Structure 1
Amino acid sequence: MLGIIYETVYAPGALWYFLLAPVLLALTQAWRIFTKGETQPLYQKKQNPDHDIEPLWDFDFRKVDPIRYQPYKTQGHVTMGIQKRTRSEWIRMDHGYLNRIQERLPLIREKPEFTIGTGEKVNPAIEELYEEVMIKYLPARFPTMFKAHGKVARNLATGSTYPLSMVGLTHAQMLAYMGENVEEDFYFMCPDADDQYRLQGYIACFPGGFLSPARVGESVREIHKPVPGYDKKLGLSVDRYFGRMIPGDFIGRMNWSLQVDGADLFRTDGNNYYPGTEQTVADEKADPEFDECFLRIEHQTLTKLPRTSAVIFTVRSYMTRLDQVKAEGDGKALAEAIESMPEGLGHYKMRQYWGAKVLPWLMEDVSGKGVNRKSG
């Protein structure tokens, strides 16, 4: 992760920093390099912009494994792990698709107060994202899964349909359709009159331990207000980068943590420790059952919409049982990465509760071949 993250993890608002700051710090460093004349900035306009979507004509999601994710080996906790992405890589499909969609449906229909965020300031961006993802992207990228028939598109995997026109749709319905057809969550950071980017909306079925409605209306700086040194070290450069992002650019990284009390992906609390609050920690955190312990991975992407200039923070979540990680021979690498966390970060991740039991178990030698990963 980041070398500076240990300074922030005790702050009540630090989860958003943990999710966004690795991406934003990388962009900040790019800006600083540019101002020194060492290289071209990430936000420079492309000479030959390529926004094409590569169609997958022979695609069968049932035969596709999740992407190989081992960020605990490739980026640890002291690097940013930023990579450029293409538009074709924005939305992913694999053999876990139907299970994850079935997990999302009741959350959208029964918990809309937590999963769907609309409003006057974000509604134009919702319309634009619906057009980009539902009308343009899905039928073009996955023609064997999403077929256009007149005014609707049919999802051949689920048997459902959705409109190819926004006429008559509410913005909540647009977000619901997105949440019912892709596994990614979307967070909308919209510019205000002062060019401050503020969280104004979301479709968030799989939050990793934070309450999305509580953050609506906050600027990037306000979200990070509790973070020591953020405004001085990062605030201005991050604001500049958001304003200078070029639509069509995609950058991504992996974020990871342990979840030791079940595989459910909808978590508005309980995955992180916040000192100085009235938070209670369940006994199971200190004595977890190994078959209830999971590696939680988030594939995170930032891009900017062309018309509204909203910055879209896209999060795709994966869950893998720790015994699968161990069977694949990665238990020791994962345990070493956890042990190497700065004290504050480890505390924030609740290592002080489950570490005494989980880490020695992960370090044990195993033999045999690994098993297939499951996506979430």
Structure 2
Amino acid sequence: MFGIIYENVSTPGPLGVLLVVSILLAITRIIRIFTQAQDKKPLKNHQIDHEIEPLLDFDFRKTDPIKYQPYKTQGHVTMGIQKRVRSDWIRIDRGYLNRIRERLPLIKEKPEFTIGTGEKVNPAIEELYEEIMIRYLPARFPTMFKAGGKTVKNLATGTTYPLSTAGLTHAEMLAYMGENVEEDFYFMCPDPDGQYRLQGYIACFPGGFLSPARVGESVREIHKPVPGYERKLGLSVDRYFGRMQPGDFIGRMNWSLQVDGADLFRTDGNNYYPGMDGAFSGEKEDPSLDECYLRVEHQTLTKLPRSGAVIFTVRSYMTSLHQVKAEGDGKALAEAIESMPEGLGHYKMRQYWGNKILPWLTEDVQINDANKHDK
């Protein structure tokens, strides 16, 4: 996941509710509707619609994934982030149900890898639940998430979740998020020295990132294995996090090759780290082309207003290299891989699979298909 900001990438505290005398009780209730109080009352729809553009005719079954070809446009090791809008925070398309089905057993059977809570991050988890599950989803996708009474119904899956954090554990909040959206969320919380450290997550689709082992690490510590990060980006990224304001949305794409299957849950194996020599079998050097995929992460960052946590939101896409090549992008992908600086190429594991995959990507599609036919 945390290949972020590596290639070309594109607070106030909680609002308190005043305690007033009994004759002003009605006024207090109105105030609570317009605050983010700690009493965990449900938030009303009319409070949130003005911030989010509703997709009134949305049908996820007819919605194509976004176009993503970062290998055509991105250079390497720069901070060229791009602005995003709140409405595009969460994306849903025709692959939604398949990927939710892939997430469910991971949440239930591997919570030690997929769910991370703790005293330092729990206020931010509660805040994100309010932002995503209560405010965002019913407002952005009203044909899919129907709020009524004390719950929201997901019409695509037939499940419901609470329209309030009252009575929920923080692990349950993360689980509900993971069961209803495809995005993973990583919570970078400020410490007393102003460093942002990973303190929690809902991470069903980590791209070679073992989340539990990284809890407590700063942005720089997480990126330590990434060639060139400290020298080119470390200080500027730290400063950028400090300057971010609630409401800012920025994003970029991260991409790599995954040459041993399409499963999205990967805690290792997609990136090279020191000491890994000899850790892989021959399948990395001689992969089956049918098992080779382009893995793209659409990543956004935003800062929560109450907790001040920076949220990394990661949405993963997998595309067969056969499809990439059939669409005429094989040569462009090969050129992007070959143009990587030596350190970056090594980090992306080019030294293992490059000798087989790169020549194949540059072959003409028609010639390759003809050869298949002759066999």
Measured after TM superposition, the shift of residue 291 of structure 1 is 1.1
Give the 3-state SS of the residue equivalent to 1:302 in structure 2: strand
Give the 3-state SS of the residue equivalent to 1:19 in structure 2: coil
Deviates more, 1:282-291 or 1:108-117: 282-291
Q: 1:51 touches 1:87 (CA, 8 Å); kept in 2?
A: no
Q: 2:53 touches 2:139 (CA, 8 Å); kept in 1?
A: yes
Please list, as runs of the form range in 1=range in 2, the aligned pairs for 1:214-229 lying within 5 A after superposition: 214-225=213-224
CA distance in 2 between counterparts of 1:229 and 1:69 reads: 25
Q: 1:152 touches 1:164 (CA, 8 Å); kept in 2?
A: yes
- Coordinate RMSD, CA, aligned: 2.2
Residue deviations 1:229-264 (CA, integer Å, cap 9, x gap): 766765444333222211111000001110010000
- Compared CA separation, residues 111 and 267, structure 1 to 2 (3 A): same
Q: 1:147 touches 1:153 (CA, 8 Å); kept in 2?
A: yes
Please list, as runs of the form range in 1=range in 2, the aligned pairs for 1:1-376 lying within 5 A after superposition: 16=2, 18-22=3-7, 52-77=51-76, 80=79, 82-225=81-224, 234-277=233-276, 280-367=279-366
CA distance in 2 between counterparts of 1:100 and 1:67 reads: 16
Deviates more, 1:224-233 or 1:305-314: 224-233
Q: 2:258 touches 2:293 (CA, 8 Å); kept in 1?
A: yes
Letter in 1 for 2:355: A
CA distance in 1 between counterparts of 2:228 and 2:337 reads: 25
TM-score (norm 2): 0.83
CA distance in 1 between counterparts of 2:101 and 2:189 reads: 30
The percentage of aligned residue pairs carrying the same residue is 83
Q: Could you say which structure has the larger radius of gyration?
A: 2
Measured after TM superposition, the shift of residue 195 of structure 1 is 2.0
Deviates more, 1:347-356 or 1:251-260: 347-356
TM-score (norm 1): 0.83
- Compared CA separation, residues 230 and 361, structure 1 to 2 (3 A): closer
Q: Give 1:4's aligned residue.
A: none
Give the 3-state SS of the residue equivalent to 2:358 in structure 1: helix
Give the 3-state SS of the residue equivalent to 1:186 in structure 2: strand
Q: How many corresponding residue pairs?
A: 329
- Compared CA separation, residues 345 and 60, structure 1 to 2 (3 A): same
Structure 1, unmatched stretches of 5+, are: 1-14, 27-49, 369-376
Residue deviations 1:24-78 (CA, integer Å, cap 9, x gap): x98xxxxxxxxxxxxxxxxxxxxxxx97100000000000110000000011436
Structure 2, unmatched stretches of 5+, are: 11-48, 368-375
Measured after TM superposition, the shift of residue 273 of structure 1 is 1.8
Q: 1:327 touches 1:367 (CA, 8 Å); kept in 2?
A: no
Letter in 2 for 1:59: F
Letter in 2 for 1:351: R
